[in-house]
Amino acid sequence: MPWDNDFYIGTSLEETDFKKLKELFYNFNKPVDPNWTFSPYGVVFEDGNGAGAGLGWASATWSWNQRADAHVEILQTLCPGPSANLYIRTPTNLIQSNARVWRTFLVQMWMPPKDIDFQAGRALGFVLTHRRLIVQSEI
């Protein structure tokens, strides 16, 4: 199934489960889309000929300055422990035809540590780390 270029998350790629963040997070006049990073390799090293080579799994992060407690609860439902296998859709570092390339991945999502900074009904500095990204078919 082709998806929009938007942030998605779910425990499967079924249409009833794989949802846009905008559908899961009702907006308290705060941005829903996260700040994000994407790294196509775990490590880049210089080989004996001076060329660079990338090794290891791709990774990504989604972060927000703050997230409502209700939003954190939704994420904790998807990932009830320190980590869980989930599907996400996120932008990559690739540009094609002057547009960011988005991909869908099976990931190991890591929740922030249990000592999340909760203040006034908000989780401050909330960061989700996605490791071991495995690209999924777009068809």
Consecutive H or E run containing 74: helix 69-78
- If residue 69 lies in a helix (H) or strand (E), which one and from where to where? helix 69-78
Give me the percent of the chain exceeding a pLDDT of 90.
50
d(CA 114, CA 49): 45
Residue 139 has pLDDT above 60, yes or no: no
The stretch 76-86 carries a mean pLDDT of 93
Distance (Å, whole) CA 87 – CA 24 = 14
pLDDT, tens digit, for every residue of 43-74?
888 888 889 888 899 999 998 887 888 888 88
Look over the chain and give the mean of its residue pLDDT values, rounded to a whole number.
88
Smallest Cα–Cα separation from 92: which of 53, 135, 126? Answer: 135
Average pLDDT over residues 131-137: 92
Supply 73's token pair.
């609860």
> What's the confidence (pLDDT) of residue 73?
87
Kindly report the pTM of this predicted structure: 0.87
pLDDT of residue 57: 94
